[in-house]
Amino acid sequence: MINKSSIQAKIMSAILLTCTIVLLLLCSAFILFEYLSYKKSVKDNVSTLARVIAGNSSAALAFESYSDAREILNGLKNNPHIESACLYDASGHVFAVYPDTISRKKIPPTPQTDGYKFSDNALVGFEPVRQEASRLGTMYIRSNLDQMYAQLNNLLLTSGCLLVGLLLVTYLLSVLMQRPITRPIRAFKDGVRRISEEHDYSVRITQTSQDELGSLTDAFNHMLTQIELQNETIGKLAAIVESSNDPIISITLEGIITSWNDAAERTFGYAADEIIGKSVFNIVPDERRHEEAEILARLQRGESVEHLETQRLTKNNRLLDILLTISPVKDQYGKIIGASKISRDITEKKQEERRKNDFIAMVSHELKTPLTSTRSYVQILLAEARKRNSDAFIINALTRTDVQTKKMTHMINDFLNLARLEEGKLQLILRVFELQTLVEEIVGDAQFLTKNHKISFLNCDHIKVKADREKIGQVLMNLLTNAIKYSPKGGEITVACAIDNQKAIISVRDQGVGIKQADQQKLFERFYRVENNELRTISGFGIGLYLVAEILRYHGSKIQVESQEGFGSTFYFSLDIAQE
Amino acid sequence: MALLLFAYPQEIYAQSKPPLEYQVKAAFLFNFTRFVRWPSLGGGNSPFVIGIAGNDPFGSYIDDLVNGERMGGHPLIVHRYTESDDMSNCNILFINVADIQKLKAILAQVQNLPVLTVSDADGFIKAGGIIRFYKDENHVKMEIKPAAARAAHLEVSAKLLQIARTDN
Q: What does the pLDDT look like over A268-284, one tens digit per residue?
A: 999 989 999 999 888 88
Helices A392-423 and A544-554, packing angle to 10 deg: 60
Q: Which fold has domain B2-11+20-36+45-166?
A: Rossmann fold (3.40.50)
Q: Is A355 helix (H, G, I), strand (E, B) or coil?
A: helix
A-chain CB neighbours of B3 within 8 Å are: 64, 89-91
Residue B58 burial by Cβ neighbours in a 10 Å radius (0-12, 13-18, 19+) = buried
Choose between A27 and A364: higher pLDDT: A27
Q: What are phi and psi of A206, to 5 degrees?
A: -75, 130
- pLDDT tens-digit readout, A497-510: 998 888 899 999 98
- Domains: count for chain A: 4
Nearest Cβ partner of B34 from A65, A90, A131?
A131
Tell me, yes or no, whether A513 and A378 share the same domain: no
Is residue A46, in this structure, part of any structural domain at all?
Answer: yes
Residue A566 — φ and ψ, nearest 5°?
Answer: 90, -10
Strands A569-576, A560-563: pairing is: antiparallel
Q: Are the C-beta atoms of B121 and B85 separated by less than 8 Å? A: no
Give the residue ranges of DSSP H helices in A90-211.
146-198
- DSSP track, B72-122: TTEEEEEEEE-TTS--TT-SEEEEE-S-HHHHHHHHHHTTTSS-EEEE--T
- Please indicate, yes or no, whether residues A434 and A554 belong to a single structural domain of this protein: yes
To 5 degrees, how large is the angle CA B153–CA B158–CA B161?
90
Kindly report the nearest CA distance between residue B13 and chain A, in angstroms: 16
- In a shared domain, residues A333 and A358: no
Q: Does B160 touch chain A (CB under 8 A)?
A: yes
Percent of chain B with pLDDT over 70: 90
Residues A131 and A69 in one domain: yes
Beta strand ranges found along A422-555 (DSSP E):
431-434, 453-458, 464-467, 491-500, 503-509
Contact B163 A63 (CB under 8 A): yes
Dihedral sign (CA A287, A291, A294, A296): negative
pLDDT exceeds cutoff 90 at B29: yes
- Measuring CA to CA, how many Å separate A527 from each of A62, A411, A522, A544? 146, 14, 10, 9
Residues A306 and A275 in one domain: yes
**Residue B80 · residue B52 · CB < 8 Å:** yes
Average pLDDT over residues B70-95: 88
Q: Which candidate, B71, B74, B80, places its Cα nearest to that of B51? A: B80
Per-residue pLDDT band at B15 (split at 50, 70, 90): low
Q: What is the pLDDT of residue A21?
A: 92
> Which of B7, B34, B160 lies closest to A90 in CB terms?
B7
Give phi and psi for A176, each to the nearest 5. -70, -40
| CB nearest A62 (choices: B2, B6, B35) | B35
- Average pLDDT, integer, range A510-535: 74
Confidence of residue A580 (pLDDT cuts 50, 70, 90): low
Mean pLDDT along residues A20-29: 91
Closest CA to A250 of A320, A326, A304, A322: A326
What's residue B12's pLDDT? Answer: 44
Q: Is the pLDDT of residue B13 over 70?
A: no
Q: A189 pLDDT exceeds 90?
A: no
Residue A399 pLDDT exceeds 90: no
- Say yes or no to pLDDT of B8 above 60: no
Domain that holds residue A283: 244-345
The whole-angstrom distance between B40's CA and the closest CA on chain A is 17
Residues B107-111, mean pLDDT to the nearest whole number: 88
Inter-residue contact A443 to A480 (CB < 8 Å) = yes
Q: Is the same domain home to A125 and A60?
A: yes
Inspect the interface and report whether the beta carbons of B2 and A91 lie closer than 8 Å. Answer: yes
Flag whether pLDDT at A537 surpasses 80: no
In the prediction, which pLDDT does A311 show?
86
User: What is the full DSSP assignment across B39-80?
Assistant: S---STTPPEEEEEEES-SSTHHHHHHHTT-EETTEEEEEEE
Residues A18 and A81 grouped into a single domain = yes
Instruction: For residues A66-94, give the mean pLDDT.
Output: 90
pLDDT value, residue A129: 92
Q: Name the pTM for this structure.
A: 0.49
Asked whether residue A216 is assigned to any structural domain, the reply reads: no
For chain A, the average pLDDT equals: 86
Separation of alpha carbons A435 and A496, rounded Å:
11
User: Is the peptide bond preceding residue A328 cis, with omega within 30 degrees of 0?
Assistant: no
The residue among A131, A152, A173 that closes a domain is A152
Nearest in space to A309 (alpha carbons), one of A462, A465, A422: A422
Q: How confident is the model at residue A202 (pLDDT cuts 50, 70, 90)?
A: confident
pLDDT digits (tens, 9 = 90+) for A345-373: 888 888 888 888 788 778 878 888 888 89
In degrees and rounded to multiples of 5, residue A461 shows phi and psi of -75, 150
User: What's the rounded mean pLDDT across residues A140-151?
Assistant: 91
| ipTM of model over 0.90 | no
Give B-chain residues touching A132 at CB under 8 angstroms: 34
Q: What's the confidence (pLDDT) of residue B9? A: 42
Contact residues of A toward B, CB < 8 A: 56, 58-60, 62-66, 68, 89-93, 131-132, 134
- Confidence at residue A540, expressed as pLDDT on a 0 to 100 scale: 65
> Domain coordinates of chain B in residue numbers?
2-11+20-36+45-166
pLDDT at residue A48 in the model: 93
Provide the pLDDT confidence category of residue A134 given band limits of 50, 70 and 90.
confident
Taking the C-alpha atoms of residue A448 and residue A444, their distance in angstroms, rounded to an integer, is 7
Nearest to A430 by CA among A462, A458, A472: A472
Has residue B91 got a pLDDT over 50? yes
Give the pLDDT band (50/70/90) at residue A238.
confident
Q: Where are the alpha helices (DSSP H) in A306-346?
A: none
Q: Indicate whether A227 pLDDT > 70.
A: yes
Q: Is the pLDDT higher at A529 or at A79?
A: A79
State residue B143's pLDDT score: 93
Report which of A389, A373, A471 is spatially closest to residue A430, judged by C-alpha positions: A471
**Whether residue B168 has pLDDT greater than 70:** no
Q: What is the CATH number of the domain that holds A267?
A: 3.30.450.20
Across A484-491, average pLDDT? 83
Residue A475: which of A335, A574, A333 has the closest Cα? A574
The CA distance from A246 to A264, in Å, is 7
Of chain B, the percentage scoring pLDDT greater than 90 comes to 36
Put simply, whether B15 touches A (Cβ < 8 Å) is no
How confident is residue B6, by pLDDT bands cut at 50, 70 and 90? very low
Torsion over CA of A459, A465, A470 and A472, rounded to 10 degrees? -60
Of A84-88, A168-172, A223-227, A288-292, the least confident? A288-292
* Residue A421 within a domain: no
Question: In this structure, what is the dihedral angle of CA atoms A98, A103, A107, A110, given to the nearest 10 degrees?
Answer: 110
R_g (Cα) of chain B, nearest Å = 15
Smallest Cα distance from B34 to chain A, Å: 6
Assess whether A363 and A435 both reside in one domain. no
Residue A4 binned pLDDT confidence (cut-offs 50, 70, 90): low
The CA distance from A250 to A264, in Å, is 11
* pLDDT for residue A181: 80
Question: In the A/B pair of chains, how many CB contacts fall below 8 A?
Answer: 48
Characterize the bridge pairing of strands A319-330 and A305-313.
antiparallel
Spell out which residues of chain A touch residue B159, defining contact as CB-CB under 8 Å. Answer: 56, 58-60, 131
